[in-house]
């Protein structure tokens, strides 16, 4: 055993016991705040939170619902242990999932009891950071030196690729990235090369999976290196093979605390169990894992399914109080298996003070190895455990909590709890459920709702749109650009900044403009065509020497003998492809051409053959890209739009709407939340249902619960009846989760969008939009009221209620009424387009000919410098007065008095 004790405080001895103050010191401390007064750090805690803090002895499970003060309980518990002298800082093992959470925990503890008291806490950190500390202390027991290197993902993939090639295998047929993910999955289960199932071992490289895994581990040992999975698996193996080492840590750690216990995987569970379970004497091996035995790094392949749990029955539901109100639950200090009474005389395996904090209803990471069963069987792993429920919510309204609690009650694999709030404001609104015709109307309506909140002085930073799949973001990003609303994408790049989208756009840009060398250079070797740096440098040199585009230079080199045969053939194919696509640009529909380009280039097949977890999402994004092109007249007009979208700067400090996936939203909260896309196949996601069955459905329901509980005051759920799926418009079915919401907490929103009422396409039910008179079976139309005898009848009389339409009504004159009213039998007709030009805007909007009511539409490409100067005072029809802060061509950055900073074209403003 290597002894790296120099990083530990001098009092960090296994048998060291902190001495509680006594005598004069104790009397002085009591006199400071009164004999019976509670310490300052306990003030403000509710009864359940205080019970969780002060129950320091024995195993404790704190079931902390969303918004119930989980982090405060955990940090206050540590502060209480230290303040009462129950342990030294170095005798507390506190585990979190992220470095950010660990830093915040240490800061909070320091604020409670002083910074100096938390400096000596070397065992507060993430699973992996503590694993590194353990492994460096005992590296030789794992066959390593203490100065071992930790490989990142790229290093791991390169190493595996070398091993695949050394075995004489085709690394394209058997991608190294795919095998790296398989190894990571095995290590998340604590399985070494000898432990993986035969089926898994034979699923890669013609049955050589086990041999490659073993060779990989041997190579890591030769390099004195390990990957992230080894940071847990090596300590597990060391603890199992060296009982004296494990016993030393049993004496060292007086208290163990774990955050987000519901998100632990099997390896993390094993690691914790070894440190927490302390036999009082020689005992036979006992069942203790979710499968019936502790899975180990040396033998975990026989892990079975989790033990059964008593499902929630209708009788149980009848005993549950109305959601959103405080349940009438007696104190439950001690619970046995599945929450039942602890069996009399239940023997505990030694004294262990472990406290796990988590929420079984928020376990949403099963796709990356998390096991919700770990938290569900806590009372079986630690008989006689105290289970404390935190159900008093400080975040959301009673209606939001009621909807969330009623929804999650449909899950069977859960302990069960009911969130409630002491805040009962009669002005609080119910959960709003909206229906839309398609995703474009969904995005328009949500954008208008956000603008309405903004006019009521709500901050954009307090609003969020939470989507199930990343491809849903595109419609919102485009709509917000049109509206001039600031937004930020959290947890990933914005839609048009994703790698696969930028690659596809590069192909399109070269087709539209053969002189776009930047785009050509990006995709000339995508997918891989065997073109190295030397070939690309030669194309560069030829293009500069002859002053021609790189595409043309590539074609010239392909017909010469200056290159070797393989790169020459590859360039000949590239040049021929672009020549063919450019000819089709004038004759083929641009959406069809875009699909052809991605297929014939091999780009789509590249992602289809990619076995990584991101590949399906990238393919969905490419399909959404093609779909988004349909509303544009040509490929060039679409590329012009994208250029303007990508030109919008993303400022982290600005007031902006947050757009993110539901998985990224965990732990966050917003005043107003929008949940679009609640349709079968999207949410719950079909892949989760196909791969996980009932457990997959329950995890999707937990994800819905997480989404609902992010909202503090306003919650809007949306579903549509038509969505483009795999390039085809398909009718969709409302999500089953909508039917699981309680009617008492839900309000059906009236359709006030540009298409009028949603109607009743599903044959009745609570989502029908009944109206007086004969109902249109397809829903009310915005043209239904055209020609009605109103104050302003005719072409402008309908239910269209967007701000732009209202301005048009206000500015309407008799001349414009005649102009619109005499065009067609429908009175409203699409205004024709004028001449086309040769730029990106060709085929969509002429900068010369397109007029509406005799006024020239603002152009997005400047013919001459802007007539405005920085500092000019201007007026915008929508945003009001403001001062110009920056000018770029005909694009103005204006600081509006009320709307904040916006980027607009100079044709839309007037000098004041």
Q: Compute the average pLDDT of residues 133-151.
A: 90
> Can you tell me whether residue 47 is helix, strand or coil?
helix
Answer whether residue 819 shows pLDDT above 70.
Answer: no
Confidence grade of residue 730 (pLDDT, cut at 50, 70, 90):
confident
Phi, psi of 81 (to 5 degrees): -60, -40
pLDDT at 290: 35
Confidence grade of residue 242 (pLDDT, cut at 50, 70, 90):
very high
Kindly report, residue by residue over 591-643, the tens digit of the pLDDT: 999 999 999 999 999 998 887 778 888 898 898 888 888 878 888 888 877 77
pLDDT at 355: 95
Six-digit token string for 113? 């009891």
Query: Are 143 and 156 found together in one domain?
Result: no
Give me the catalytic one of 710, 712, 723, 902.
Answer: 710
Q: Domain with 197 in it: what CATH number?
A: 1.10.10.160
The more confident residue out of 314 and 703 is 703
Q: Compute the average pLDDT of residues 745-761.
A: 60
- The last residue of a domain, from among 746, 768, 803: 746
| Highest-scoring range by mean pLDDT, 443-452, 543-552, 561-570 | 443-452
pLDDT at 531: 87
pLDDT at 637: 81
pLDDT at 562: 78
Is residue 338 domain-resident?
Answer: no
Give me the catalytic one of 55, 56, 71, 893.
Answer: 71
Confidence grade of residue 105 (pLDDT, cut at 50, 70, 90):
confident
- Least confident window among 76-90, 239-253, 531-545, 689-703: 531-545
Answer whether residue 298 shows pLDDT above 70.
Answer: no
Q: Compute the average pLDDT of residues 115-119.
A: 67
pLDDT at 844: 36
Confidence grade of residue 833 (pLDDT, cut at 50, 70, 90):
very low
The more confident residue out of 19 and 484 is 484
Is residue 359 domain-resident?
Answer: yes
Query: Are 201 and 161 found together in one domain?
Result: yes
Q: Compute the average pLDDT of residues 297-323.
A: 36
Answer whether residue 458 shows pLDDT above 50.
Answer: yes
Answer whether residue 420 shows pLDDT above 60.
Answer: yes
> Can you tell me whether residue 62 is helix, strand or coil?
strand
Q: How far apart are CA 410 and CA 172, in angstroms?
A: 45
Confidence grade of residue 879 (pLDDT, cut at 50, 70, 90):
confident
The more confident residue out of 139 and 650 is 139
Q: To which H or E segment does residue 566 belong?
A: helix 565-584
Is residue 290 domain-resident?
Answer: no
The more confident residue out of 719 and 343 is 719
Query: Are 201 and 231 found together in one domain?
Result: no
User: Please, what is the Cα angle at 687 between 683 and 689, to 5 degrees?
Assistant: 75
User: How many helices, marked H, and strands, marked E, lie in the chain?
Assistant: 31, 23
Give me the catalytic one of 260, 440, 462, 552.
Answer: 260
Give me the catalytic one of 126, 262, 266, 362.
Answer: 362
Confidence grade of residue 117 (pLDDT, cut at 50, 70, 90):
low
- Is 701 a catalytic site residue? no
Answer whether residue 832 shows pLDDT above 90.
Answer: no
Count structural domains, the chain.
5
Residue 838 CB contacts under 8 Å (≥ 6 apart), including other chains:
none
pLDDT at 514: 86
Question: What is the value of pTM for the model shown?
Answer: 0.63
Kindly report, residue by residue over 688-717, the tens digit of the pLDDT: 999 889 999 999 999 999 999 999 999 999
Q: Compute the average pLDDT of residues 813-818.
A: 44
Confidence grade of residue 321 (pLDDT, cut at 50, 70, 90):
very low
- Is 70 a catalytic site residue? yes
Query: Are 238 and 362 found together in one domain?
Result: yes
Q: How far apart are CA 681 and CA 468, in angstroms?
A: 11
Answer whether residue 428 shows pLDDT above 50.
Answer: yes
Phi, psi of 443 (to 5 degrees): -65, -40
The more confident residue out of 38 and 149 is 149
pLDDT at 803: 53
Is residue 322 domain-resident?
Answer: no
- Least confident window among 130-134, 400-404, 756-760: 756-760
Query: Are 239 and 170 found together in one domain?
Result: no
Query: Are 62 and 202 found together in one domain?
Result: no
Q: How far apart are CA 731 and CA 728, in angstroms?
A: 10
Q: How far apart are CA 414 and CA 430, in angstroms?
A: 26
pLDDT at 836: 34
Residue numbers belonging to the annotated binding site: 64-71
- Least confident window among 65-79, 264-278, 487-501, 825-839: 825-839
Q: Compute the average pLDDT of residues 281-309.
A: 35
Give me the catalytic one of 48, 227, 230, 259.
Answer: 259
Q: How far apart are CA 143 and CA 2, in angstroms?
A: 12
Contact 844, 860 (CB under 8 A): no
Q: Compute the average pLDDT of residues 881-896.
A: 88
Residue 830 CB contacts under 8 Å (≥ 6 apart), including other chains:
none
Query: Are 533 and 662 found together in one domain?
Result: no
- Is 591 a catalytic site residue? no
Six-digit token string for 445? 């309506």
What percentage of the chain's residues is helix, strand, coil (to nearest 5)?
45, 15, 45
pLDDT at 32: 54
Is residue 678 domain-resident?
Answer: yes
Is residue 730 domain-resident?
Answer: yes
Answer whether residue 216 shows pLDDT above 90.
Answer: yes
Residue 140 CB contacts under 8 Å (≥ 6 apart), including other chains:
2, 146
- Is 362 a catalytic site residue? yes
Answer whether residue 774 shows pLDDT above 80.
Answer: no
Query: Are 453 and 569 found together in one domain?
Result: no
List, in sequence order, every beta strand (DSSP E) within 664-809.
Answer: 670-675, 711-725, 728-731, 746-748
pLDDT at 327: 52
Q: Compute the average pLDDT of residues 348-366.
A: 83
Strand partners, 438: 722
How many Cβ atoms from other residues are within 10 Å of residue 116's Cβ?
A: 9
Q: Compute the average pLDDT of residues 847-872.
A: 56
Residue numbers belonging to the annotated binding site for ATP: 64-71
- The last residue of a domain, from among 746, 762, 777: 746
Answer whether residue 161 shows pLDDT above 50.
Answer: yes
Confidence grade of residue 750 (pLDDT, cut at 50, 70, 90):
confident
Q: Domain with 735 in it: what CATH number?
A: 3.40.50.300
Give me the catalytic one of 48, 49, 70, 389.
Answer: 70
Answer whether residue 186 shows pLDDT above 90.
Answer: yes
Q: Compute the average pLDDT of residues 6-34.
A: 49
Contact 61, 388 (CB under 8 A): yes
- Least confident window among 170-174, 801-805, 892-896: 801-805
Confidence grade of residue 109 (pLDDT, cut at 50, 70, 90):
confident
pLDDT at 316: 42
Query: Are 677 and 728 found together in one domain?
Result: yes
Q: Compute the average pLDDT of residues 854-882.
A: 72
Q: How far apart are CA 392 and CA 387, in angstroms?
A: 16
Q: How many residues does the chain have?
A: 912
- Least confident window among 430-434, 504-508, 544-548: 544-548
Answer whether residue 758 shows pLDDT above 70.
Answer: no
Query: Are 241 and 359 found together in one domain?
Result: yes
Answer whether residue 740 shows pLDDT above 70.
Answer: yes
Domain containing 61 equals: 44-147+223-278+349-389
- Integer-rounded Cα Rg, in Å, for the chain is 32
Query: Are 137 and 260 found together in one domain?
Result: yes
Q: Domain with 504 in it: what CATH number?
A: 1.10.486.10
Q: Domain with 901 in it: what CATH number?
A: 2.30.30
pLDDT at 14: 45
CA distances from 587 to 513, 580, 583 (A): 16, 11, 8
Q: Compute the average pLDDT of residues 216-240.
A: 92
Q: Compute the average pLDDT of residues 368-393.
A: 90
Is residue 296 domain-resident?
Answer: no
pLDDT at 593: 93
Contact 70, 62 (CB under 8 A): yes
Question: Which single residue is written with the structure tokens 């999207």?
Answer: 682
Confidence grade of residue 912 (pLDDT, cut at 50, 70, 90):
confident
Answer whether residue 189 shows pLDDT above 80.
Answer: yes
pLDDT at 852: 35
Query: Are 265 and 359 found together in one domain?
Result: yes
Is residue 332 domain-resident?
Answer: no
The more confident residue out of 785 and 884 is 884
- The last residue of a domain, from among 217, 242, 261: 217
Contact 91, 12 (CB under 8 A): yes
Q: Compute the average pLDDT of residues 668-675.
A: 96
Confidence grade of residue 681 (pLDDT, cut at 50, 70, 90):
very high
pLDDT at 597: 94
């Amino acid at each position: 055993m290597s002894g790296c004790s120099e990083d530990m405080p001098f009092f960090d001895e296994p048998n060291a016991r902190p001495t509680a103050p006594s005598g004069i010191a104790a009397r002085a401390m009591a006199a400071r705040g009164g004999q019976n007064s509670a310490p300052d750090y306990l003030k403000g805690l509710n009864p359940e939170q205080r019970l969780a803090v002060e129950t320091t002895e024995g195993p404790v499970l704190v079931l902390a619902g969303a918004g119930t003060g989980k982090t405060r309980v955990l940090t206050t518990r540590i502060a209480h242990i230290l303040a009462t002298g129950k342990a030294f800082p170095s005798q507390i093992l506190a585990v979190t999932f992220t470095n950010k959470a660990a830093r915040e925990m240490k800061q909070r503890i320091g604020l409670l009891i002083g910074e100096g008291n938390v400096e000596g806490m070397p065992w507060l950190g993430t699973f992996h950071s503590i694993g590194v500390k353990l492994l460096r202390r005992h590296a030789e027991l794992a066959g390593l030196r203490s100065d071992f290197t930790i490989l990142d993902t790229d290093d791991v993939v390169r190493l595996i690729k070398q091993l695949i090639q050394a075995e004489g295998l085709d690394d394209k047929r058997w991608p190294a990235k795919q095998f790296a993910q398989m190894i990571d999955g095995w290590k998340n289960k604590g399985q070494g090369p000898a432990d993986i199932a035969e089926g898994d071992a034979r699923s890669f490289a013609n049955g050589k999976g086990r041999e490659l895994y073993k060779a990989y581990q041997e190579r890591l040992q030769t390099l004195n290196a390990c990957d992230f999975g080894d940071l847990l698996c090596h300590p597990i193996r060391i603890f199992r093979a060296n009982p004296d080492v494990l016993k030393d840590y049993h004496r060292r750690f007086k208290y163990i605390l774990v955050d987000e216990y519901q998100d632990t995987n099997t390896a993390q569970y094993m690691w914790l169990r070894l440190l927490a379970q302390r036999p009082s004497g020689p005992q036979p091996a006992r069942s203790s894992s979710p499968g019936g035995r502790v899975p180990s790094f040396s033998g975990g392949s026989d892990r079975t399914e989790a033990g059964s749990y008593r499902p929630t029955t209708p009788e149980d539901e009848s005993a549950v109080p109305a959601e959103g109100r405080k349940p009438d639950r007696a104190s439950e200090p001690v619970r046995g298996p599945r929450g039942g009474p602890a069996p009399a005389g239940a023997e505990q395996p030694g004294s262990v003070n472990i406290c796990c904090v988590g929420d079984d209803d928020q376990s949403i990471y099963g796709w990356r190895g998390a096991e919700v069963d770990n938290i569900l069987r806590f009372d079986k792993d630690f008989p006689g455990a105290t289970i404390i429920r935190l159900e008093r919510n400080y975040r959301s309204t009673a209606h939001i909590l009621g909807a969330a609690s009623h929804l999650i009650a449909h899950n069977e694999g859960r302990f069960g709890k009911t969130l409630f709030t002491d805040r009962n404001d009669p002005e609080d609104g119910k959960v709003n459920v909206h229906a839309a015709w398609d995703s474009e109307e969904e995005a328009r309506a949500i954008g208008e709702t956000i603008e309405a909140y903004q006019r009521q002085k709500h901050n954009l930073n307090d609003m969020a749109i939470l989507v199930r799949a990343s491809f849903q973001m595109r419609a919102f990003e485009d709509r917000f650009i049109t509206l001039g609303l600031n937004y930020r994408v959290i947890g990933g790049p914005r839609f048009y900044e994703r790698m696969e989208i930028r690659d596809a756009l590069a192909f399109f840009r070269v087709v539209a403009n053969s002189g776009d060398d930047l785009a050509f250079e990006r995709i000339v070797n995508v997918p891989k065509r065997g073109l190295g740096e030397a070939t690309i440098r030669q194309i560069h040199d030829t293009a500069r020497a002859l002053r021609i585009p790189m595409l043309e230079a590539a074609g010239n080199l392909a017909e010469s003998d200056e290159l070797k045969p393989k790169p020459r053939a590859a360039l000949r194919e590239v040049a021929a492809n672009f020549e063919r696509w450019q000819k089709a640009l004038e004759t083929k529909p641009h959406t069809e051409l875009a699909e052809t380009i991605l297929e014939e280039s091999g780009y789509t097949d590249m992602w289809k053959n990619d076995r990584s977890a991101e590949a399906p999402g990238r393919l969905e994004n490419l399909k959404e890209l093609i779909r988004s092109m349909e509303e544009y007249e040509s490929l060039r007009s679409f590329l012009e739009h994208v250029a303007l979208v990508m030109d919008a700067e993303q400022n982290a400090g600005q007031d902006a709407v947050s757009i993110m996936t539901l998985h990224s939203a965990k732990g966050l909260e917003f005043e107003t939340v929008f949940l679009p896309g609640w349709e079968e196949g999207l949410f719950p996601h079909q892949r989760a249902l196909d791969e996980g069955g009932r457990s997959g459905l329950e995890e999707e329901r937990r994800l819905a619960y997480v989404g609902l509980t992010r909202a503090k005051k306003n919650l809007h759920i949306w579903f549509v009846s038509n969505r483009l799926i795999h390039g085809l418009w398909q009718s969709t079915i409302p999500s089953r989760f909508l039917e699981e919401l309680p009617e008492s907490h839900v309000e059906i929103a009236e359709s006030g969008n540009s298409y009028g009422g949603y109607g009743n396409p599903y044959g009745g039910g609570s989502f029908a939009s009944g109206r007086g008179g004969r109902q249109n079976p397809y829903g009310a139309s915005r043209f239904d009221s055209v020609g009605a005898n109103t104050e302003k009848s005719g072409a402008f009389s309908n239910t269209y209620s967007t701000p732009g339409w209202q301005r048009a009504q206000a500015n309407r004159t008799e001349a414009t009424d005649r102009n619109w009213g005499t065009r067609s039998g429908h009175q409203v007709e699409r205004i024709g387009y004028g001449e086309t030009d040769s730029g990106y805007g060709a085929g969509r909007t002429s900068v010369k000919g397109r007029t509406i009511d005799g006024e020239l539409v603002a152009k997005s490409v400047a013919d001459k410098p802007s007539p405005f100067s920085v500092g000019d005072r201007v007026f915008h029809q929508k945003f009001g007065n403001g001062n110009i802060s920056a000018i770029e061509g005909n694009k103005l950055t204006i600081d509006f008095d009320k709307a904040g900073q916006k980027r607009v074209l100079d044709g839309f403003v007037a000098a004041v």
